[in-house]
Amino acid sequence: MSKVAVVTGGTRGIGEAISIALKAAGYTVAANYAGNDEKAKAFSDEHGIAVYKWNVGNAAACAEGLAKVEADLGPVEIVVNNAGITRDGMLHKMTVEQWEEVINVDLNSMFYMTKPLIDGMRARGFGRIINISSINGQKGQMGQTNYSAAKAGVAGFSKALAQETARKGITVNTICPGYIDTDMVAAVPEKVLESIIAGIPVGRLGKASEIAAMVTFLASEEGAFITGATMTVNGGQYMT
């Protein structure tokens, strides 16, 4: 029986590529989404991947959603915390709501999505927790104090949890994508996009499939000796 993987924000952008890649690698995939029912249905119909709607920034919704996935598909052994939002603004203009919404969805969701699953993973002696951060959580970004703080926190969460679970057969890792060729990046004004690409040593945007390939490797048996790591996938834009 194939292992069950949950991908948050799994029907669009990077998450869509991750869901497709994990299915191709033989996993049973549940793709979470937050709001776009039409896109989620089209994704599910095209790829044969089950979709589940809930807000990852809500603890009760995560517990309920994960219970539904496990009832339908079996124990979740791989979780990819990919869902994220931006609410950009300079700090002196940022509202409390902008701050709290991003911290809740981009950081608190790590706890909300992992806590309901961790006991089962520990009991079975296997788990893969893969958390998607960002280049801007590593280097910071003007106008994104909320987002940069949340994404930096993802790495800290992963390192601490990796130490707690290493002897239980559970790995916990972070992936920090750089600028990836998704619809969100494509919407950036052309001149801004040109300046972004000019700052990437390899001279191009990344592909969602390149992030998905890293996720698939970390989920595999071949990735079992990697835990607490921060995998930087950004074309050399920020080197660590």
210-223, pLDDT tens digit by residue? 999 999 999 999 99
116 domain residue, yes or no: yes
54 domain residue, yes or no: yes
Structural contact between residues 8 and 81, judged by C-beta atoms closer than 8 angstroms = yes
Whole-number pLDDT of residue 45: 98
Whole-number pLDDT of residue 188: 80
240 domain residue, yes or no: no
pLDDT under 50: residue ranges of the chain: none
Torsion of Cα atoms, 94 then 96 then 101 then 104, to 10°: 120
109-141, pLDDT tens digit by residue? 999 999 999 999 999 999 999 999 999 999 999
Copy the structure tokens of residue 171. 């790995």
Whole-number pLDDT of residue 100: 98
- State the catalytic residues: 147
**What is the DSSP track for 115-173?**
HHHHHHHHHHT-EEEEEE--HHHHH--TT-HHHHHHHHHHHHHHHHHHHHHGGGTEEEE
238 domain residue, yes or no: no
146 domain residue, yes or no: yes
Structural contact between residues 185 and 179, judged by C-beta atoms closer than 8 angstroms = yes
Reduced to 3 states (helix: H, G, I; strand: E, B; else coil), residue 61 is helix
Range of the domain at 192: 4-232
What is the CATH number for 100? 3.40.50.720
Reduced to 3 states (helix: H, G, I; strand: E, B; else coil), residue 113 is helix
239 domain residue, yes or no: no
**What's the pTM?**
0.96
State which H helix or E strand residue 179 sits in: none
**Domains held by the chain: number:** 1
237 domain residue, yes or no: no
Torsion of Cα atoms, 186 then 33 then 231 then 109, to 10°: 120
